[in-house]
Structure 1
Amino acid sequence: MRPDPAPRRTPAERRARMMALPPLSDDDGGAIDRFVDAIWAESGLARPTLESYRRDLAGLARWRRGGGLAKATRADLFDYLAWRSAEGYAARSNARLLTALRAFFGWQVREGHRPDDPTALLEPPRLPRSLPKAITETHVEALLAAPDASTPDGLRDRAMLELMYACGLRVSELVGLPATGVNLRQGVLRVLGKGSKERLVPMGDEARHWLERYLAEARPRLAGRQVHATLFLTPRAGPLSRQQFWHLVKRHAAVAGIDPARISPHGLRHSFATHLLNHGADLRSLQMLLGHSSLSTTQIYTLVAREKLKQLHAHHHPRG
């Protein structure tokens, strides 16, 4: 018996409600494991994406209370999506869930485990179009100058911030960057992006300067006598997590006099793209630098630049 729709709840309440559902059955857990292994072999999806698929599928399986994930019908999926909407899950979260369901049931059909795909007629929820939030060049300069470069941690932070802004890296790409991915002589990084796609990104003279200083002065002290493949290390000689980098960005933003609520690590990537466009870069080159598989993903930044021009016109033109 399915749970009745409930009033919209807070994230903590939703997590508690999910925890109260029955545990994942062995059959459903095995089906999810086989799917994740297969989709990784087929598409080379990144670990965070695979874990996201696993969580979403496990949520549906537990909600069905032993009814069998692979046996879910279109009506079951409609009911589950309706229940999630009533519970207060965001449209973006439900859209991500639908992506996982389509991948899973598509795999089920290809493998001959079921004759039909119950997601065939499911429409994705409409997502509000939100523009990437870039910070001004003045704020970027203040943020980059915030770390205390006289300490190993501060020098590491300065090098990381410089690289992220100079190269437009994703957070996962930055914290997972191997030492072997750096070519200081040529001034480029070899970055492994989404879908295990590799790209070369120029780092610029300023970022290269700080990276050279980090490698010469800070990294040997952070690594000690141990040998590590990861480029950026913590004082315990381990790699930084995305959450740790998120916290250090917030801390340095506060030092720089920037409202921490207005900045995020991914905001530096958005700033990289927006500032390049503002200074005349073309979309195709920006697509290659960002590692976007589709140009349509990159085109969102033209809207950001256009909004900025409209604001400038409204503020400065006598008839704005």
Structure 2
Amino acid sequence: MSAAPEHDPSAGHAGALVEFRRHLESELGRSPHTVRAYLGDIRSLLAYLDDTGVGMDAIDVDVLRGWLAHLHEAGASRSTMARRVAAARIFTAFLNRTGRLTSDPGPLVANPKRHRSLPLVLDEEQTSSALEDSATGVASPAALRRTAVAEILYAAGLRVAELCGLDLDDVDRERRTLHVRGKGGKERVVPIGTPALAALDRWLGEGRPHWVTPASGPALFLGARGGRLGTRSARRDVYEVVGRGPGGTGGGAPHDLRHSAATHLLNGGADLRSVQEFLGHSSLRSTQIYTHVSIDRLTETYNRAHPRA
């Protein structure tokens, strides 16, 4: 069951929403995707205030709980509820800081426990086969980009937005690394392998020049019209390579390659802290979800090393 459609709040809240957007973008450095999601969440809260006749300056813990109960009854998922609690906490802190609320009720609202679904992880041999098949296809600009996109996502474990944000000078060929700008403006340097660099060089030498325009700027990956590659097109590239292409794995989302890269690193002997740094996770807890898929390696080690195995 999906949540019922929500109406926009009254125009009286428009100024606060504009300032809140600026707060998310400029002061907190949230990604465009997060900004859109949080603004939608807060529009839901403000529409609830309009429906119940509560002013924005009267938001308290009971109002927030009433809003969340309304969402729950409308069929909002647990993950949606958790995100909306996070958005509400940032919003009430913003209202308090800007003098619209005399106190901040956000910290008093409990966060619903989320059921963490296990990530889809692609088989190592199938992934390599799909990438190799892609590299031997027709060398059109679109095909060269597809291969380079999939190789870089898998080699560096990037989020799709991080890949689309790469510039030409973010590639260090001497060190075989990428300079990545991640969530919240955090930056990291990650290694990439020889196949990924080879695919990237083919794209830069034989593909990108066909699409580059004066407006392309420093973007590493381009769309067919010369602009910076968008996340939707990047997702389509990945699906073409690992979803339905020759040797396809059955996956098809950029995050599947990110999950797979992390898991394959752990299976190969990398420690959890290194994988955390590789993925750009701020908390080790986010990385720990990958440990379950490395049970095969643990079992092999146990059988080999434990005297009573």
Deviation at 1:118, TM superposition (A): 2.6
The verdict on how the C-alpha distance between 1:242 and 1:249 changes in structure 2, with shifts beyond 3 A counting, is: same
Deviation at 1:205, TM superposition (A): 1.3
The answer to whether the 8 Å contact 2:215/2:227 transfers is no
Question: Greater CA deviation, 196-205 or 147-156?
Answer: 147-156
Alignment partners' CA distance in 1, 2:127 and 2:121 = 10
The verdict on how the C-alpha distance between 1:180 and 1:48 changes in structure 2, with shifts beyond 3 A counting, is: same
Alignment of 1:1-320 (within 5 A): 9-10=1-2, 14=4, 17-18=5-6, 21=7, 23-65=8-50, 67-147=54-134, 148-224=137-213, 227-252=216-241, 253-258=243-248, 260=250, 262-306=251-295
The verdict on how the C-alpha distance between 1:55 and 1:69 changes in structure 2, with shifts beyond 3 A counting, is: farther
* 1:89-108 superposed Cα distances (whole Å, 9 cap, x missing partner): 11101100000100111122
* 1:161-187 superposed Cα distances (whole Å, 9 cap, x missing partner): 111111010010011211221122331
Structure 1 residue identity aligned to 2:154: Y
Alignment partners' CA distance in 1, 2:113 and 2:246 = 38
Alignment partners' CA distance in 1, 2:133 and 2:273 = 33
Alignment partners' CA distance in 2, 1:178 and 1:71 = 46
Deviation at 1:44, TM superposition (A): 1.9
Alignment partners' CA distance in 2, 1:311 and 1:98 = 42
TM-score (norm 1): 0.85
The verdict on how the C-alpha distance between 1:60 and 1:311 changes in structure 2, with shifts beyond 3 A counting, is: farther
**How many residues get paired?**
299
Alignment partners' CA distance in 1, 2:229 and 2:191 = 23
The answer to whether the 8 Å contact 1:105/1:117 transfers is yes
Structure 1 residue identity aligned to 2:248: I
The verdict on how the C-alpha distance between 1:113 and 1:124 changes in structure 2, with shifts beyond 3 A counting, is: same
The answer to whether the 8 Å contact 1:53/1:100 transfers is yes
Alignment partners' CA distance in 2, 1:256 and 1:87 = 43
The answer to whether the 8 Å contact 2:160/2:254 transfers is yes
The answer to whether the 8 Å contact 1:149/1:158 transfers is no
Alignment partners' CA distance in 1, 2:138 and 2:268 = 29
Q: Which runs of 5+ in 1 are unaligned?
A: 1-8, 314-319
The answer to whether the 8 Å contact 2:59/2:101 transfers is no
TM-score (norm 2): 0.88
Alignment partners' CA distance in 1, 2:56 and 2:129 = 51
Structure 2 residue identity aligned to 1:50: V
1:5 alignment counterpart: none
Q: Identity of paired residues, percent?
A: 36
Deviation at 1:36, TM superposition (A): 2.7
Deviation at 1:274, TM superposition (A): 0.3
Structure 1 residue identity aligned to 2:273: R
Deviation at 1:32, TM superposition (A): 2.0
The answer to whether the 8 Å contact 1:135/1:263 transfers is no
Q: Which runs of 5+ in 2 are unaligned?
A: 303-308
Q: Describe the SS at the equivalent of 2:106.
A: coil
1:317 alignment counterpart: none
Deviation at 1:137, TM superposition (A): 0.5
The verdict on how the C-alpha distance between 1:146 and 1:64 changes in structure 2, with shifts beyond 3 A counting, is: farther
